[in-house]
């Protein structure tokens, strides 16, 4: 959902060719005007020179009259998330600076691209058949990549870091401002340590310190987030219920484009929620969603099952596995089996690949650093990112309320803090950006949706997938309007009042739904606003009045109105509510 919004913000224009000293390319995504795209040619392994690969990047040149000389260089997280699609968004965030978006080697807009559909499909098969062998799928993926000439030992944080340092030199910027999010915060910290003369400031959003055992902490991180939301008991009730009796949920395989029925246990749903709670809109609806799932409303599992498929096409999993298996998995103990299938799958892949362990970097920097974190982040919680920030010589930390992972994408207050910091980064660890006109404690993005605020139903989400399912509502609205107009013109008060009542119902429900969408459209995945439920009796009243009008003056128009009203009520009570 966030990416769709960001892409809409980007300005689609013809691509600009890259500088002469790097590989030129057309921009693979929509970018704003004054943007250059290209490839940086780098060694696949700097310890074994010879083979090269191409790292994608984009440079947006600011046209502001007060353009600053040092740009912002941004990389997405993952590992293996793409970056260039955010060029337009970031150029609006930093209008007076050049913006450089750099890809990770092996990611979507670099060459080669290290996809691994074998493991992605095996992970999805986990929802079809619990005995799916992710390790066997990983071996097939590795063999295919080997036949393509890929040396997975070249796809590490160390090499990605060296790519960023080389790009600054190649583009000719004396200094720049580093901006990383999630996994790439580790990259940017390593860049700051490796290239101190070229770094003016560092922004770390959702900081992942090197010395944190992410896999060992994953279960606790989810549990802590749920507890912070005050949902520990209903969450565990939901997990226990679905572990005892897994739900069958229709969904779609994004790799094959076919539908299938997923089998979701409580642990499966916990895994999906650990990813879903990255998003502030999901965090806001979690109280109502988890309460409803705990009470048996399995119809709400459809959007969660669909999210699994979306996640499996959002990364290039060959690169993801290569980085995790060399840089992250070896630093964890895995003393107990996680209930999160993503953790267990990553361990299975790395056991199969048997890649070497990377050496620790223990990077630090004297450059000014701003670390921002989300109050409810289940992946890089402030429990670990805040102490890591305080351990840096010249860093400040800010937590933002009501927010999860990748704070800057959804939180305008966070963006203003980041902008103020980059403008004046040298204020010291205790400084607060004076020009940031908002309080992090008051920066919650969406209002909390409690169980009493919503009438639980899966109908709105199904309608979002297949709009024709709303035909009974549209037909009832149209017939009611015609009934009102014709009744008024012909002086038939009962029929006119019946039509007016039906029109009022559709208008009131529409207004209630629109108000909810304006606050947080994700709430419709849980149900309809509770305020819409009492309006049902207005629709019932319209049907009763229509039947009265039919009894008083039988005829085809009133018969059609009566049948429509009756059919609508059956649909409303039996399917929607």
3-class DSSP state of 371: strand
List C-alpha distances in Å: 159 to 7, 167, 205, 343, 385: 29, 12, 21, 24, 24
> Tell me, what's the pLDDT at 469?
94
User: Per-residue pLDDT averaged across 225-248, rounded?
Assistant: 94
Rg (CA), the chain: 27
> Tell me, what's the pLDDT at 199?
97
The neighbour count for residue 311, using CB atoms within 10 Å, is: 17
Residue 455 clears pLDDT 80, i.e. is over it:
yes
Query: DSSP letters along 418-464, please?
Result: HHHHHHSGGG-TT---TT--S-GGG--SS----GGGEEE-SHHHHHH
Reported as a pLDDT band with limits 50, 70 and 90, residue 21 is very low
Distance CA 25, CA 325 (A): 31
Residue 230 clears pLDDT 80, i.e. is over it:
yes
Beta carbons of 196 and 366 less than 8 angstroms apart? yes
> Tell me, what's the pLDDT at 11?
31
92: which residues sit within 8 A by CB, 6+ positions away?
9
Cross-strand pairs, 58? 37, 101
181: which residues sit within 8 A by CB, 6+ positions away?
75, 76, 77, 204, 205, 206, 406, 408
510: which residues sit within 8 A by CB, 6+ positions away?
none
Domain 2-212+358-400: which topology? Rossmann fold (3.40.50)
The pairing of strands 99-102 and 72-75 is parallel
Q: At what angle do helices 493-520 and 556-571 cross, to 10 degrees?
A: 30
Sheet holding 199-205, edge to edge: 23-24, 35-43, 52-60, 99-102, 72-75, 176-181, 199-205, 369-374, 395-400
Distance CA 36, CA 23 (A): 11
Distance CA 540, CA 57 (A): 60
Could you state, in order of their start, the residue ranges of all structural domains in the chain? 2-212+358-400, 214-353, 451-576
Residue 506 clears pLDDT 90, i.e. is over it:
yes
Summarised one tens digit per residue, pLDDT across range 95-112 is 999 999 999 999 999 999
Summarised one tens digit per residue, pLDDT across range 57-100 is 999 999 999 999 999 999 999 999 999 999 999 999 999 999 99
Query: DSSP letters along 12-58, please?
Result: P---BPPPTTSEE---SS---SSEEEEEEEEES-TTS-S-EEEEEEE
pLDDT, the chain, mean: 89
3-class DSSP state of 403: coil
Q: What are phi and psi of 139, to 5 degrees?
A: -65, -40
């Amino acid at each position: 959902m966030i990416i769709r919004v960001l892409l809409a913000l980007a300005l689609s224009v013809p691509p600009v060719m890259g500088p002469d000293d790097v590989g030129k390319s057309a921009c693979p995504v929509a970018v704003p005007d004054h943007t250059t795209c290209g490839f940086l040619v780098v060694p696949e392994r700097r310890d074994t020179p010879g083979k090269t690969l191409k790292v994608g990047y984009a440079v947006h040149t600011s046209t502001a009259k007060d353009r600053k000389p040092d740009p912002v260089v941004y990389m997405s997280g993952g590992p293996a998330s793409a970056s260039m699609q955010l060029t337009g968004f970031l150029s609006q965030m930093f209008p007076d600076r050049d913006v450089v978006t750099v890809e990770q080697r092996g990611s979507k807009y670099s060459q080669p691209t290290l996809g691994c559909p074998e493991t992605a499909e095996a992970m999805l098969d986990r929802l079809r058949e619990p005995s799916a062998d992710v390790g066997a799928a990983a071996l097939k993926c590795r063999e295919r990549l080997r036949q393509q000439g890929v040396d997975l030992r070249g796809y590490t944080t160390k090499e990605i870091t060296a790519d960023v340092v080389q790009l600054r030199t190649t583009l000719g910027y004396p200094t720049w401002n580093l901006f990383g999010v999630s996994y790439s915060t580790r990259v940017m910290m390593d860049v700051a340590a490796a290239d101190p003369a070229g770094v003016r400031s560092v922004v770390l959003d959702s900081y992942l310190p090197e010395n944190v055992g992410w896999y060992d902490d994953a279960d606790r991180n989810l549990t802590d987030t749920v507890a912070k939301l005050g949902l520990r008991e209903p969450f565990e009730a939901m997990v226990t219920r679905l572990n005892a009796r897994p739900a069958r949920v229709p969904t779609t395989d994004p790799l094959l484009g076919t539908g299938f029925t997923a089998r979701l246990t409580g642990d499966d749903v916990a895994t999906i929620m650990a990813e879903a709670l990255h998003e502030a809109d999901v965090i806001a609806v979690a109280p109502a969603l988890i309460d409803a799932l705990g009470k048996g409303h399995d119809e709400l599992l459809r959007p969660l099952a669909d999210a699994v498929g979306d996640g499996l096409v959002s990364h290039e999993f060959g690169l993801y596995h290569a980085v995790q298996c060399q840089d992250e998995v070896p630093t964890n103990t895995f003393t107990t089996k996680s209930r999160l299938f993503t953790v267990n799958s990553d361990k299975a892949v790395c056991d199969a690949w048997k890649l070497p362990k990377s050496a620790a970097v223990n990077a630090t920097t004297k450059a000014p650093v701003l670390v921002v974190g989300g109050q409810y982040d289940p992946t890089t919680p402030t429990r670990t990112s805040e102490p890591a920030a305080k351990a840096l010589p010249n860093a400040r930390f800010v937590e933002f309320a009501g927010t999860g992972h990748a704070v800057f994408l959804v939180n305008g207050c966070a963006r203003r803090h980041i902008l103020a910091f980059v403008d004046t980064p040298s204020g010291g660890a205790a400084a607060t950006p004076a020009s940031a006109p908002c309080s992090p404690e008051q920066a919650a993005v969406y209002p909390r949706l409690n169980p009493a605020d919503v009438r639980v139903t899966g109908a709105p989400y199904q309608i979002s997938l297949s709009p024709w399912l709303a035909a009974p509502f549209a037909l009832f609205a149209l017939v009611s309007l015609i009934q009102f107009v014709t009744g008024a013109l012909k002086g038939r008060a009962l029929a006119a009042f019946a039509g007016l009542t039906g029109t009022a119902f559709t208008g009131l429900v529409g207004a209630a739904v629109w108000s909810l969408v304006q606050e947080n459209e994700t709430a419709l995945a849980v149900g309809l606003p509770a305020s819409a439920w009492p309006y049902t009796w207005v629709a019932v009243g319209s049907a009763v009045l229509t039947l009265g009008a039919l009894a008083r003056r039988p005829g085809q128009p009133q018969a059609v109105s009566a049948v429509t009203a009756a059919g609508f009520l059956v649909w409303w009570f039996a399917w929607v509510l």
